[in-house]
Amino acid sequence: MFVKQLSVFIENREGRLEKVTETLSNHNINIVSLSLADTSEYGMLRLIVSDPDKGKQVLKENGFSAMLTDVLAVRLPHDVGMLQKLLQIFFEVNLNVEYMYVLGTGEENASIIVKVSDPKKAVEALAANNLSVFTAEEAYSINK
């Protein structure tokens, strides 16, 4: 039901992002999806990876600040207005969307990663509206 997202706090300087990807690659960890937001000095890299626990461990061992966060990987029909419908569902049950980004799946559906204020309540609201989420195993193995 929930997917573990690997969040990495990195300095906004040349080579740091490449070092994160190199570390994951050297440990055979596939990046399924990512989002990078930055300020002038620091960035927050959010990743869905094939093995989030191992990813956190190897990044910490290599001097990165990394943590795991529960998020939802939501399947949405690729139709006009579906994002608005998703947000309306969350609004109707008083959920705050903290952030979201695209999850590339290769499926016909549009899929997104969503961090909401109450993930359990969000899953219930999605099910009540005939929308589904990826299992963790499905999300970690996308693009294999």
Q: Count Cβ atoms within 10 A of the Cβ of residue 122 and give its class: 0-12 exposed, 13-18 middle, 19 or more buried.
A: buried
CA atoms within a 13 Å half-sphere pointing along the CA-CB vector of 18: 3
Q: Are strands 97-102 and 132-133 parallel, antiparallel or unpaired?
A: unpaired
Q: Residue 75 in 3-state DSSP?
A: strand
Fold match, 3-70 / 71-140: yes
- List C-alpha distances in Å: 139 to 65, 95, 103, 135: 23, 23, 9, 6
Q: Tell me the CATH class for 71-140.
A: alpha beta
- Give percent of the chain with pLDDT exceeding 70: 96
- Give percent of the chain with pLDDT exceeding 90: 76
- Would you say the pTM of this structure is higher than 0.85? yes
Domain locations along the chain: 3-70, 71-140
Q: Is the CB of residue 83 less than 8 Å from the CB of residue 68? A: no
**Tens of pLDDT, residues 86-96:** 999 999 999 99
Q: Residue 43 in 3-state DSSP?
A: strand
**Tens of pLDDT, residues 104-115:** 776 677 789 999
Rounded to an integer, the average pLDDT of 30-50 is 91
Contact residues for 14 (Cβ-Cβ < 8 A; gap 6+): none
Q: Are strands 97-102 and 42-49 parallel, antiparallel or unpaired?
A: unpaired
Whether domain 3-70 has CATH 3.30.2130.10: the reply is yes
Radius of gyration of the chain (CA): 16
For the chain, the average pLDDT equals 92
Residue 36 has pLDDT above 80, yes or no: yes
Rounded to an integer, the average pLDDT of 76-91 is 93
